[in-house]
A = this chain, B = another copy of it.
Amino acid sequence: MAPIRTPRSSWIDEGLRALAGGGPDAVRIEALARALGVTKGGFYWHFDDRGALLDEMLDTWERVSIDEVIDRVEGEGGDARARLRRLFALASSTPELLRVDLAVRDWARREPTVARRLRRGDNRRMEYMRSLFGAFCPDEDDVEARCMLAFSMFVGSHFMVADHGARSRADVVALALRRLEAE
C-alpha cells in the first residue's frame, strides 16, 4: 500500500472551493489540478469524469451542510427560540460552506438533478423549522408563514445588496428574526 498523496477528498474540496467562487462552470479539472499543484493525470484515476466529481461534491455538501448542522443544533439543547437562533448562527458561521450553499441554489435553477437534491435538503430543513416554530406557535398557517419568511430571509439576504442606513445587515436580520419569534 503506497501512501495517499492527493486523495479523492482533495479533489472534492478543491471542487467545492471552485463551485463556491465561480459556480459549476468554474469547476474545471485542469484548474483544480493547478490549484492542487499537480496535473490532471491523477484525477482520472480517482473519477470516471467531471460529472462523477460534481456528484460527489453534492454528496458531501448534503452531508456537512444539512445533516451535520441540524445534528449540532439539536445536540446543544435549549428551548425552541434558542435553537432557532443557533440554527441561523450556525448556518452563516462558515462562509465557505454558505457560499457553496448559495452556488448550489443557483445551479439547481437550471439542473433538474441538482434541484432534486436541493428539494430533499430544503424539505429537511423546513421540517425541522416547523417543529421549532410549532413549539410556541399554535396556528398551522402561521407556522408555515413564519418558516417561509425565516428560511427565505436566510437565503435571500445573501442575494440582495441593499444598504440599511445606520443599521448593518446583521442588525436588520436580527430585528426581523426577533419579529418572527414574537408570540
Contact A173:B148 (CB < 8 A) given known A25-B23, A102-B109, A106-B106: yes
List chain B residues, Cβ under 8 A from A163.
119, 123, 126
Contact between chains at B156 and A172 (CB < 8 Å)? no
Q: Which among B99, B119, B160, B178 is the interface contact of A155 at CB below 8 angstroms?
A: B160
A77-85, A86-94, A137-145 - interface stretch: A137-145
Min CB–CB distance A164 → chain B (angstroms):
6
0 or 1 for each of A8-32: is its CB under 8 Å from B? (1 = yes):
0000000000000111010000000
Closest-by-CB residue of B relative to A161 is B119
Whether, in the assembled complex, A2 has its beta carbon less than 8 Å from a beta carbon of chain B, the answer is: no
Whether, in the assembled complex, A122 has its beta carbon less than 8 Å from a beta carbon of chain B, the answer is: yes
Min CB–CB distance A105 → chain B (angstroms):
4
Query: Which residues 92-126 of A sit at the B interface, judged by CB distance below 8 A?
Result: 99, 102-103, 105-106, 108-110, 115, 118-119, 122-123, 125-126
Contact between chains at A145 and B162 (CB < 8 Å)? no
Contact between chains at B23 and A141 (CB < 8 Å)? no
Whether, in the assembled complex, A176 has its beta carbon less than 8 Å from a beta carbon of chain B, the answer is: yes
Among A142, A162, A175, find the residue whose CB has the most chain B CB atoms closer than 10 A.
A162
Min CB–CB distance A18 → chain B (angstroms):
11
List chain B residues, Cβ under 8 A from A115.
161
Min CB–CB distance A138 → chain B (angstroms):
15
Residues of A within 8 A of B (CB): 21-23, 25, 99, 102-103, 105-106, 108-110, 115, 118-119, 122-123, 125-126, 141-142, 144-146, 148-149, 151-164, 167, 172-173, 175-176, 178-180
